[in-house]
Chain A
Amino acid sequence: MELRKSYFADQRKDDLHEIGQPRPRSDSPGHVTGKTAYFADRNFPGMLHLKMVRSPHHHARIRSIDTSEAEKHPGVVKILTAQDVPHNVYTILILIQIGPEDETVLADGKVRWKGEAVVAVLAETERAAQEAAAKVKIDYEVLPAVFDMEEALKPGAPIVNEYHGRNYYLYDSGECRKVRFGDVEAGFAGADHMLEQTYQSSPIEHAPTETTGCIVVPEGNDRFTCYTNTQAMFFTLDNASIVLQMPGNKLHFVGGTVGGGFGGKVDVIVEPIAILGAKLTGRPVSFIYSREEEMQISSPRAAEKVVIKDGVMKDGRIVARKVTGYTDAGAYSRHSPYGAQKGAGHYPGPYTIPNVWIDTYCVYTNRTPSSAMRGFGVTIGDFALEVQMDKLARLIGMDPLEFRFINAYRDGDMKAHRQPTEGAALIECMQEASRAANWPVAEKFMAMSSYAKGA
């Protein structure tokens, strides 16, 4: 890595003692010698293991649940169903007043995705829990499912999630989050060229080294300690408090060292049910995803579809951009309404365009609920935007890097979501990339700066 100190030197103090120093990480010796303690390194006498009975169907009504055979299985201590969960229908963003509550801790009457948790089995050993889970009999009436966002948005599509009553999240602005800046149709009308393209992605997995999980220990004083690898301690504590209808002071969360997260550990999935298990049995409970569960059950990055329409002038100026984004939330909201909204605030990327029109939709399908992942709401948008930029440059016969210089935002430029640009540095990044990659651009671009035009 090279630090190029010549850029923005006038804005920086480089005489600090500790900041800017390449100090070795204090925790790395522990990590590389295997001595760092992760939550699962703890073992408690009498600890139970929790395994979920999961839906084999994408969408089905639950006619009946029979746990009698499973209860007789040696080693089984407790079996939990929806009726055991105090506040079974929840949504994590309710803490910031984003509703409605739309997801069940344990499925109640219906499953909406393949892999959804229906019954929790607590047993003396992992194996006993697994074997007993296989003995739970659930009678399903399979319902029509919808996997494709376009299909889900068509009239008459099966309703995925009754708590929404429609297959998209309803924002205060309507069926999508809108951004309107300038007059996009007038911009298109005056453009030399137009280009409309569609970009798509499929879900991807966070693939952390350490799988999601927690161990909950009753402290004997009506408090429960939850050792967890959540990325957000109080977020999880507060949500668990709501789900369990327990005051927050009964809960003590301990975490702090996590073997990778990438956004995959901000859904509050394992902790509430494990705490409930510990409360109802009076014993420590371990609920840790297998690698297969991490891959198949934990929220992936959402699949997205992005449609971009641009109006561009022969001289390289983009004069109008219309973006429609679709985020596949899967069966439940989790963080997806937020991600789709974050996307709306991100378009049209680091470029100054006078006329912008953005709609972003959060769509429900009978797929694994998606949620936060590194670059949440933005990554696929950046892919779409930057491939589109390449196509636009080639459309008008311009060098792709020079084309970006023409449109790059600078300090003071107004963004589409009506915030003036501050601290821009795109131009300097591109100048340095031009040098590093030996990709020459015209001298006038190398003379540009991100400081305000004319400054």
Chain B
Amino acid sequence: MKPTDTDSVDWRSESRSAPDVTTRERLREVYDDRIRTPLLVAWADWRTRLGFLIIGGYLTMALVAILGLWREPSTNQAPRYLMLFENMNYPLGTTASGTDLAALIVHSTPDILLMITAGAVWATAVAVVIGTVAGYKGGSVDRALMSFSDLVMAIPGLPLVIILAVTLNPENPILLGVVINISYWAGLGRSLRSQVLTIRENDYVEASRTMGVSTPRIILKDIIPNLMPYVTVNFVFAARYVMFASVGLYFLGVLPYSTQNWGVTLNFAYSGGALFSWSAAHWLLAPMVAIMGLSLGLILLSQGLDRVFNPRVRTRMSGESSSTAGDDDADVTEVL
């Protein structure tokens, strides 16, 4: 890849007349601009790399569970209270009822991944729509949307989920994810709105407005890109909240026990007295490590992706090799 190729990815491509650019070149530009550069920026950061690896690990676990490469968990399938790595057939040991812990962890993964994705997508999508429209439009639209958010936000999250869970008995992981995050968007939407209030005062937004650009276009092109760092980070927070809340609620025993879940394992371990005897500590630790690992992967990924979606960082990065990423950071700090 010649350096000149990447150099041409800039404003000029917009103003150049069409016959000069072949479809092939155009595709290449799109590829460079939208895929290659962001990936380079992302990969340059150790956090993204580690995050990708961890998430990849969990996806592999999910795949293993779906393809049935590891045995299903069932009681009395192994000797009771095997310790970690005591018997390599059951690497994570077994529970009081002789269930393979590795099987429990692996077979919980697909449902958990589905659940947290559903919950996070739901929460961020609704929040972005409500937050940007309310913040940008202002006036009565803002008031109506914010009153609605206030109402939703005024309902305490976990207690509402508990009551909904008892009422609806959601067994589908996707539905469960949405139920857990049913009111999460309200707070996020509100803080997005407060960001939009600041962004919409910017010169370029005013310029777009004066030029008669339509509102949806301004929101899409001028406002949302500026929110992206915030949105990606909060997407991960929403996902993490689903996981923490679901595991916590399973732990309390208020969610229906139909799906296999790390929280259920944690609950059984806790009530089985795993906290007080070393011979069963692994029973408690395995689901904890699973939860924290996934959460760690998500957060690392979001931290790294912050750079991809942060327009300021990206502009500086585009066209440069990944090795300069570290040096660029110095510029930012120099300012203060």
**Do A and B make up one complex?**
no
